[in-house]
Structure 1
Amino acid sequence: MKRSLRHRCETRLRQLALPDVVTSMVDVVDHVERLRERPVRLRPLSLPPGGPTGAWVATSVLDYVFYERDTSPRHQAQIIAHELGHMTSGHHSSPAAVLAPLLLAPGAATVMLAREAYATDEEREAEQMADLLVAYVEASMERAPALSALEAALKRDSRRL
């Protein structure tokens, strides 16, 4: 029996072993860089209306995540998380070549995925991963002040011993 998309993505999220406290999507990007052992560069762009709002471009040595500059920080985090969802799901193809001339010299990219529609299984999977990643970051940010206070208290108590 096939596992549900959400279950597969929840399993993948656990396998990422994100730190307990992440304060932004940049922390998640840093973690994915370490896991993939290659740099991920975030690049804001003003993309044309009606087109993709984000893209993942993998070169032979690093990954670029392009995201819409002219949108809310929450939407930017969702776009970045979506592209990370593609990376962490092992996706490798997309009909995104139309965006390549806007971003890089032709032929420079080995993998390019552009976030535009959710008609394919890969896009639905990447968006489910994005939802889970953003929720993880938001929940972590809510826990962070409480954890910081607890850590500070434990450090104070350990100095008394």
Structure 2
Amino acid sequence: MKLNDIRDNDGARKVRVRKGRGIGSGKGKTAARGQKGQKSRSGVAIKGFEGGQMPLHMRLPKRGFNNPFGKDYAEVNIGMVQKFIDAKKIDGKKDITEETLRAAGLVRGGKDGVRLLGKGEIKAKAKFVVTGATKGAIAAVEKAGGSVEVTAPKKTDAKADA
């Protein structure tokens, strides 16, 4: 066995088919598009078209409402915050801010800020600085001896979103 004897296995490298390069190639003339018709022409995009029949995506009923002015909060439960404090990923002695929660990996997304929810139980005396909080979450944190400071949501330009 020499270096010049080494070759790929048969079929390991497949040569791509070049369409429309003469009738001798086997894929010439119509370039495997068949004869005539819309699909044989260039620049055709008939993704949802059903030959004049009402397309399926238009036949199905539309449901719900998408509020263009709705806020997008990243939601975090106090029980999860307690888990992260127990695991020493968050320092319970310092203020727990949005940046702290993002750095710990507890919060992702939520372009309008972080909202604290009351699911779970918190034992640490923590001070939260968040964009929003439920009544239950505030009550649970205050019961544990902590406090919740609710800041104003971030101003987003309505024209930039549209």
The two structures have a TM-score, normalised by structure 1, of 0.23
Q: Per chain length, whose mean CA-contact separation is higher, i.e. which structure has more relative contact order (CA < 8 Å, sep 6+)?
A: 1
Pick the structure with more helix per residue. 1
The two structures have a TM-score, normalised by structure 2, of 0.23
